[in-house]
Amino acid sequence: MSAADFDAIVIGTSAGGIEALSRLLPALPAALHASVLIVLHLPRDRPSLLADLFAPQCALAVCEAEDKEPLQPGTVYFAPPDYHLLVDRERDGSVVLALSSDELVHYSRPSIDVLFESAADAYGPRLLGIVLTGGNQDGAAGLAAVHREGGRCIVQSPDEAQAAYMPEAALRRGHADEVLTLAQIAERLSRL
Amino acid sequence: MTDRDSSAESPADRSFEIELKLLIDAIYLKYHYDFREYAGASLKRRLLAALERFDCATLSQLQDRLLHDTEVFPQLLDYLTVQVSEMFRDPDYFLALRQTVIPMLRTYPSLKIWVAGCSTGEEVYSFAILLREEGLLDRTLIYATDINTNALARAAAGVYSVDRIAGFTDNHRRSGARNSLSDYYTAAYGRAMFDKSLRKNIVFSDHSLATDSVFAEVQLVSCRNVLIYFNRELQDRALGLFSDALCRKGFLGLGSKESLRFSRHADAFADLVREQRLFQKQDFAA
Ligand SMILES: C[S@@+](CC[C@H](N)C(=O)[O-])C[C@H]1O[C@@H](n2cnc3c(N)ncnc32)[C@H](O)[C@@H]1O
């Protein structure tokens, strides 16, 4: 796993996710080439403060995704509450963010599966998918899609996760190239 | 390597992309609905859901049914389009309209408003109620358009399940309501029927932002949560229609996560209330 391997990193998490991300995102190096897209399950009826929360901790720009925004390298995008976040390829070949208010998936909007599956289509083997702590099975099918399209998959060790269900489901249904602790994932990311 | 192997996609998915394109072309040729410039990733998901619903193994099978059984398309349309809506969705948008746009609209002797992509009507009734409360409904004509004719028929009926009324009421209150929402509907048998007088000045019509043209000059266009389903080109087409339809200094409102930033028409509009995605058409030097 080296710096040039990935154009995008997708991360999915729910319960315990804020803490887990507080350990991972600060590890991302300022010179990161990949874009980072994150779905964290949150209440649907409130504005999300995630970008404001994480921006001061990160060496990279952190923002809430906007529809049709061209993906920038070295930028962290959070899915806004109550919208699915997807990755689309425009006619001219450029990759953009896309939002949708399609039905909930696994009771969630945004859904991790929706992000991961569309990113797998857009990036194929140049994608790194990471499933972290969480209390439902969202992300498992998504991680399977990342693997099917040749991307790399990391799952947080369920033993360590604040909520083990999501990483366990990802291991059962999806695929993991590596099962790692947060400290190990952070270390991997810092070398990208 | 030849061009032929340069695709990174797995073989199965490549066929899916081909079938998807053929299906969308078939729909266009046979039914004249143009989904060719819709945002691809979410369209793909909705078609995967349709495969299950119609019990088809492949999009080619679905295409076969679609071409030879004309009852399939109207049902498929409900999968191709997304009918999620609420009354006074994002109350702050309607509050900003009351505070910022309504005072300027008052200066016109008569008004025309276009609600594009009105779905089952929730947004249009929100406008009618807001305009009634602001004393403007009688001099306003509202054009409510959509491509989904099932949705339009439901919009014209103005009947919603009472389960949804608590949410609508809360939204309405937060939008700066002057009356209680219950003043505008009667409830019976689990359904809330909105007052006929609200739709006296509403014209519902089948109109596509992808294929149709401008039909009137209006002071305000509200098009919310429709553009996110389009790719950049089609967004630009729709925004071009809005710009052409709007009178000088006319107003445009978009959905809470939609923006003009990435559009060719960004310069045609100025921010009016940035967080609520309210814009005003700019004058150009001749
Ligand atoms: C998610 S709903 C939005 C409803 C409402 N505006 C709101 O924000 O609550 C999207 C609507 O756009 C309509 N739509 C999709 N493509 C369209 C097109 N080309 N022209 C007009 N309406 C379209 C769909 O049929 C659907 O009713």
Is B72 in a helix, a strand, or coil? helix
Q: According to the model, what pLDDT value does residue B24 have?
A: 97
Query: What is the ipTM, given to two decimal places?
Result: 0.91
Torsion of CA B97, B202, B113, B106, to 10 degrees: -60
Which residues of A belong to the active site?
14, 41, 138
pLDDT in tens, A6-43: 999 999 999 999 999 999 999 999 999 999 999 999 87
Give nearest CA residue, ligand 1 atom 7.
Answer: B85
Which tokens in the block code for residue A124? 């194929």
B182 and B56: one domain?
no
What's the CATH fold of domain A3-190? Rossmann fold (3.40.50)
The average pLDDT across A82-92 equals 93
Q: According to the model, what pLDDT value does residue A43 have?
A: 79
Contact list, A90 vs chain B (CB under 8 Å): 231-233
Q: Which residue has the tokens 């809005």?
A: B242
Question: Measured from the CB, is residue B100 less than 6 Å from ligand 1?
Answer: no
Q: Which of B208, B228, B175, B238 is nearest to B43 (CA)?
A: B228
| Residue that finishes a domain, picked among B59, B80, B101 | B80
Of A86, A99, A125, the CB nearest to B8: A125
Is A84 in a helix, a strand, or coil? strand
| B286 found inside a domain | no
Domain range for B7: 3-80
| Residue that finishes a domain, picked among B80, B102, B130 | B80
B143 and B224: one domain?
yes
pLDDT in tens, A45-80: 777 889 999 999 999 999 999 999 999 999 999 999
Judged by CB atoms closer than 8 Å, whether chains meet at A80 and B9 is answered as no
Which tokens in the block code for residue B35? 């989904």
- Using CA atoms, how far apart are residues B227 and B38, in angstroms rounded to an integer? 9
Distance in Å, CA A103 to ligand 1 centroid: 15
Give residues 63 to 82 of A whose Cβ lies within 8 Å of B: 66-70, 80
Q: According to the model, what pLDDT value does residue B284 have?
A: 75
B193 and B102: one domain?
yes
Using 70 as the pLDDT threshold, list the residues of chain B that sit under it.
Answer: 1-13, 285-286
- The CATH number assigned to the domain holding B266 equals 3.40.50.150
B119 and B188: one domain?
yes
One-letter amino acid for residue B106 of the chain: R
A90, B231 in Cβ contact below 8 A? yes
- Using CA atoms, how far apart are residues A41 and A105, in angstroms rounded to an integer? 11
B193 and B70: one domain?
no
Q: Which of B276, B255, B202 is nearest to B85 (CA)?
A: B255
Going from the C-alpha of B9 to that of each of A92, A149, B13, B196, the distances in angstroms are 18, 7, 6, 54
Name the burial class of residue A109, with classes exposed (0-12), middle (13-18) and buried (19+) by CB atoms within 10 angstroms of its CB: buried
- Using CA atoms, how far apart are residues A4 and A6, in angstroms rounded to an integer? 6
Q: According to the model, what pLDDT value does residue A3 have?
A: 57
Domain count, chain B: 2
Tell me the shortest Cα–Cα distance from B16 to chain A, in angstroms.
11
B189 and B232: one domain?
yes
| B269 found inside a domain | yes
| B179 found inside a domain | yes
Q: Which residue has the tokens 């309209």?
A: B97
Provide the whole-model pTM. Answer: 0.93
Give nearest CA residue, ligand 1 atom 14.
Answer: B117
B37 and B106: one domain?
no
B20 and B66: one domain?
yes
Question: Measured from the CB, is residue B199 less than 6 Å from ligand 1?
Answer: no
Q: According to the model, what pLDDT value does residue B4 have?
A: 43
Every domain of chain A and the residues it spans:
3-190
Contact list, A114 vs chain B (CB under 8 Å): 45
Q: Which of A133, A143, A84, A159 is nearest to B82 (CA)?
A: A84
Question: Measured from the CB, is residue B148 less than 6 Å from ligand 1?
Answer: yes
For residue B252, how far is the Cα from the chain centroid? Answer: 13
B266 and B140: one domain?
yes
Distance in Å, CA B119 to ligand 1 centroid: 5
Q: Which residue has the tokens 């969202």?
A: A138
Q: According to the model, what pLDDT value does residue A192 have?
A: 87
| B85 found inside a domain | no
B40 and B97: one domain?
no
B228, A98 in Cβ contact below 8 A? yes
Bridge partner list, B159? B193
Q: According to the model, what pLDDT value does residue B6 have?
A: 40
Bridge partner list, B193? B159, B186
B49 and B175: one domain?
no
Which is higher by pLDDT, B7 or A88?
A88
pLDDT in tens, A89-131: 988 889 999 999 999 999 999 999 999 999 999 999 999 999 9
| Residue that finishes a domain, picked among B80, B110, B142 | B80
| B86 found inside a domain | no
A98, A88 in Cβ contact below 8 A? yes
Q: Where are the beta strands (DSSP E) in B63-135?
A: 111-116
Contact list, A100 vs chain B (CB under 8 Å): 39, 42, 82, 228-229
* Cα diameter, chain A: 45
B187 and B275: one domain?
yes
